[in-house]
Structure 1
Amino acid sequence: MKKTGILNSQLSGLIAALGHKDQVMIGDAGMPIPQGVTIVDLAVCAGVPTFAQVLNAVLGEMCVEHFDAAEETAGNNPEIWALLQKSLPDVPYDTMSHEKLKEKSAGVKFAIRTGECTPFANVILRSGVVF
């Protein structure tokens, strides 16, 4: 049994299999996941687990070189926007409309569904390299 880090075997394996430039989405409970995208559904009930808990766990195991977020996040969910800025301080990012982010999510390697029930708590992370 794994002692530390992500214990969910599906999620741990998917992160381990990421290559440079692969993309992953972490989404709130209401984010639609396009058909054909692998889903790691961690949602237990409203608010469990939170977007912040999942983001922190993923960042503990994944090298991120870039992220994308909805431009609506800063104004409509300043707590999530502040979390992204704090958690990824030196990582370049792009913002786009929520609709465009949903379209872009069709190209992710997998999506993680959280129990987060606040608006615009979604991010697409692009895998970097550690060397």
Structure 2
Amino acid sequence: MKRRGLLHPDLSALVARAGHTQTIVLADTGLPVPAGTPCIELGVTAGLPALLDVLRAVLTELVVEGATVAAETRQRSPEWYAGLREVLGEVLEEAPAELPHEALKAALPHALAVVRTGETTPYANVILHCGVNF
């Protein structure tokens, strides 16, 4: 058994196989995942685990060079958006890229996987753009 880092075996394996330019989506509990798109279900109950907690854990092992959120997030969930920017602050110098929520959902089939959390904040989804460690 692993002593530290990502302990969930599927999440750990996902991060291990992520390559440069691939994307991983961290999602709220209600985001519809298209058929054929791998999905790791982490949600235990409403709010558990919170997406930002999962993001903090993932960032300990994943090189991220960018992030994308729905444009609606900033207006509909400003506190959550501020928390996201705080967590990503060490990873990104600028704010995450934004696109309409429908466009974000259209990008899901291109993701390596969707990690669905217990997050219940509206529009609390983020696409992580994988980088390289050199």
Instruction: Tell me, yes or no, whether TM beats 0.5.
Output: yes
- Please name the residue that 1:124 is paired with: 127
Report the Cα distance in structure 2 between the residues aligned to 1:2 and 1:67, rounded to whole angstroms.
28
Runs ≥4 residues deviating over 6 A:
none
State the match for 1:110 in structure 2: 113
- State the Cα deviation string for residues 11-67 of structure 1 (Å, max 9, x = none): 101100111111000000000111111111001111110111111111111110011
Match runs of 1:91-102 below 5 Å: 91=92, 92=94, 93-102=96-105
What are the ranges of 5 or more consecutive residues in structure 2 without an aligned counterpart? none
Alignment of 1:9-48 (within 5 A): 9-48=9-48
Aligned to 1:61: 61
TM-score (norm 2): 0.93
Equivalent position SS for 1:43? coil
Q: Could you tell me how far apart the structure 2 residues matched to 1:95 and 1:8 are?
A: 29
Q: Tell me whether 89-98 or 5-14 shows the greater mean CA deviation.
A: 89-98
Identity percentage of aligned residues? 41
Task: Give aligned pairs, total.
Answer: 131
- For the residues of structure 2 that align with 1:80 and 1:64, how far apart are their CA atoms? 20
How far apart are the structure 2 equivalents of 1:79 and 1:69?
14
Kept in 1: contact 2:52–2:87 (CA 8 A) = no
Which TM-score applies when normalising by structure 1? 0.95
Structure 1 alignment gaps of length 5 or more: none
Whether 1:70 and 2:70 are equivalent positions in the alignment is yes
Which residue matches 1:81?
Answer: 81
Task: Tell me the C-alpha RMSD between the 2 structures.
Answer: 1.1
1:114, 1:87 → 2: CA distance?
16
